[in-house]
Amino acid sequence: MSKVVLVTGANSGIGLALCERLLSQIPEGLQLCLACRNMQRAQAAHSALLASHPAAQVALLHMDTSSISSIIRAAQEVRLRYDRLDYLFLNAGIMPNPQFDVNAFFKGLFSSSVITMFATGEGILTQKDGVTPDGLQEVFATNLFGHFLLVRELEPLLCQAGQTSQLVWTSSSNAHRSAFSLEDIQHQRGTQPYSSSKYASDLLSLALNTHYNKQGLYSSVICPGFVMTNLTYSILPSFPAFLWTLLMPIFWLIRMFTNTFTLTAYNGAEALLWLFKQKPESLDPYVKYHSLTSGLGTNYTQPHKMDIDLETSESLYEKLLQLESEVRKKLMEEQEEASCRI
C-alpha cells in the first residue's frame, strides 16, 4: 500500500530537501503532498521534484499555517483527497525580524560557551514578533498553533484502527525552557518567540503521544542542526551574498568541532528521513532526534534527552485545547455574521 505523506513548508529549505530525499529513496509507493503558503515557490518546487522524479505522485496544497481559516480549508481539502495519512511533517516555520546581538556574540566568542552559542544560537538571537489577523502572535501561530489545529482537523485520517501514523515536528536546539512560560504561551511579553514556539512544540509532541498513542498516532521532534536556508540568511539580511560565501569555509571548519553544523538542507533533513524509516512505537517521546554531520561529511541521527516534563506538557495541551475552542467559536460567529450580511 502506498504511503501518504504531507509536508508543511515544503517549497524550500529543509522541507523541500526532505521531499527530494524521500522520492530518491522510495521511488514507488509514495503520495507526497506539499502544503505551502507561497504557491509560486510551491510550483517551482513541484516542477523541480518532477524533473528529477518524473513518475512521482506529488500534489500541492495551499496552506498558511498562521491562519485559522486557511488551516481549516486546507484540512477539508486533505480529507477530500485522501482516506488516510501516514506521515505529517510539521515543518513550516518562521523567525521574523531577527536581531543579532553583536555584543553577546563577541562575548560568547571568547567564553567557554562558544560551541553552545554556535550550536544553538543561545543568547545571540532575539526577534520582533507580529500579530496575525486572527489576533494571535505570529510566531506562535505559524510554528505551533496552526500545526496543532491541523493535527486536530486531520485526526480522522491520522487515527485509524489497525494502523500507525507519525507526526514529526521540525523543532530546534534553540528551544529553551527559559524562553517559555505557561502564563504566556504565545510569548506576547518576551523577545524570544522563536525559542518559545520551538520549546512549546517539544512539550506538545510529548502531550500528543500521551493522548494519541492508543489511537495509533505517534509524535516526534527533530533538530536539523544549523542549516543555511532562507530562514538563516534572514538573520543578517544586510549581509551581502559574497560575505556568506566567504564565511562558508569557516563554517566548514567549525564542523570539525561541532557536528550540529549540518549546513545544507540535504544534511539537515537527515533526522526527518531517519524517523520516516523507524517503527513509531520504538521511539522515545522524551528525546529530540538531531541531524548531525561529521567533520568528514557523514550524516547521522542521534537522540538527545529533552528538558521537558509531563506536567508542563499537559498544562500546555490544556491551554491549546482551550484556545482552539475559542478560535473555533470566533470563526463560527464571524461566519454567521457574514451569512447574515448576504
Ligand X SMILES: NC(=O)c1ccc[n+]([C@@H]2O[C@H](COP(=O)([O-])OP(=O)(O)OC[C@H]3O[C@@H](n4cnc5c(N)ncnc54)[C@H](OP(=O)(O)O)[C@@H]3O)[C@@H](O)[C@H]2O)c1
Interactions with ligand X, residue window 129-168 (CB under 6 A): 142
CA-to-CA distance for 276 and 253, rounded, in angstroms?
30
> Which DSSP letter does residue 291 get?
E
Residue 137 CB, nearest approach to ligand X (Å): 13
Q: Which is nearer to ligand X, 142 or 258 (CB)?
A: 142
Q: Is 6 in the site for ligand X (CB under 6 A)?
A: no
Q: Is 12 in the site for ligand X (CB under 6 A)?
A: yes
Report in angstroms the alpha-carbon separations of 295 from 52, 119, 150, 254: 29, 14, 38, 9
Interactions with ligand X, residue window 265-304 (CB under 6 A): 265
Residue 218 CB, nearest approach to ligand X (Å): 20
Map residues 88-127 to x or -, x wherever contact with ligand X holds by CB under 6 A. ---xxxx---------------------------------
CA-to-CA distance for 174 and 160, rounded, in angstroms?
34
In angstroms, how far is the first alpha carbon of the chain from the final one? Answer: 46
Q: Is 232 in the site for ligand X (CB under 6 A)?
A: yes
Q: Give the phi and the psi of residue 297 in degrees, each rounded to 5.
A: 90, 15
Q: Which one of residues 98, 108, 193, 224 is an interface residue with ligand X (CB under 6 A)?
A: 224
Instruction: Determine which one of 87, 194, 218, 286 is catalytic.
Output: 194
CA-to-CA distance for 133 and 183, rounded, in angstroms?
22
In the numeric block, the cell 553552545 is attached to 116
Strands of 165-170's sheet in order across? 57-62, 30-36, 3-8, 87-90, 165-170, 217-223, 287-293, 299-305
Q: Is 49 in the site for ligand X (CB under 6 A)?
A: no
Stretch that binds ligand X, among 5-13, 112-120, 241-249, 298-306 (CB under 6 A): 5-13
Q: Which residues, other chains included, contact 11 with Cβ-Cβ below 8 Å and sequence gap of 6+?
A: 34, 36, 38, 41, 42, 44, 45
Q: Is 229 in the site for ligand X (CB under 6 A)?
A: yes
Q: Is there a catalytic annotation at residue 87?
A: no
CA-to-CA distance for 262 and 117, rounded, in angstroms?
15
Map residues 24-43 to x or -, x wherever contact with ligand X holds by CB under 6 A. ------------xxx--x--
Give contact residues for ligand X (rule: CB under 6 A): 8-9, 11-15, 36-38, 41, 63-66, 91-94, 142, 170, 172, 223-224, 226-227, 229-232, 265
Active site residues: 194
